[in-house]
Amino acid sequence: GQKKGVNKMTTYANKTYVAFDADNDIHYYRLMQAWKKNDNTSFNFYDAHDLNDLMSWSSEETIKDKLAERLRNTKVFVLLVGENTKNLYKFVRWEIEQAIKRDIPIIVVNLNGKRSKDSNSCPAIVADELAVHVSFNQKIIEYAINNWAQSDKIYREDGKTGAYYYKDSVYH
């Protein structure tokens, strides 16, 4: 007999999920969207946030359901880390937890320009997780989006964890 069940894992995860402090750091996210729209750049990401609008009056549960749906199609999780990110528990911490639970490759982007883990601003929940830490810069974020998922897979298979960063030569 034929199997009627559909394997949900067959949907190719191709989106980049960007989590950030919406109150303080949205302009960085808008800048990433502008890079994406610029014709002179190859910077591109399939944006999980823009798939469907979340109304500001939605309940926390509804919002988390929608975010979980988006995370199911996520290839890489980008966390923009600003001054207050580590203090955000309601959504950002939950989003990070989901990415960790789902083994989604994580790119931590330091808005202060630091090219490696910033112990002062990195949320504790992701500090020792397998992730690459980069500065907020179009080319290095693009490089990480295009390359980290493969590295993450290899490191994960070897049982590695912790913060990774790119050598200065990769930035040049």
**How far apart are alpha carbons 34 and 150 in whole angstroms?**
26
Over residues 104-162, the pLDDT tens digits come to 999 999 999 999 999 999 999 999 999 999 999 999 999 999 999 999 999 999 999 99
In terms of Cα–Cα distance, which of 168, 77, 44 is closest to 114? 168
**Chain segment 19-42, per-residue pLDDT in tens:** 999 889 989 998 998 888 887 777
**CA-angle at 121, arms to 69 and 114, nearest 5°:** 100
**Which residue matches tokens 């080319």?**
139
Segment 93-100 mean pLDDT? 95
Helices (H), 5-93: 26-37, 60-71
Tokens standing for residue 52 = 């469907």
pLDDT of residue 36: 84
The bridge status of strand 74-81 relative to strand 106-110 is parallel
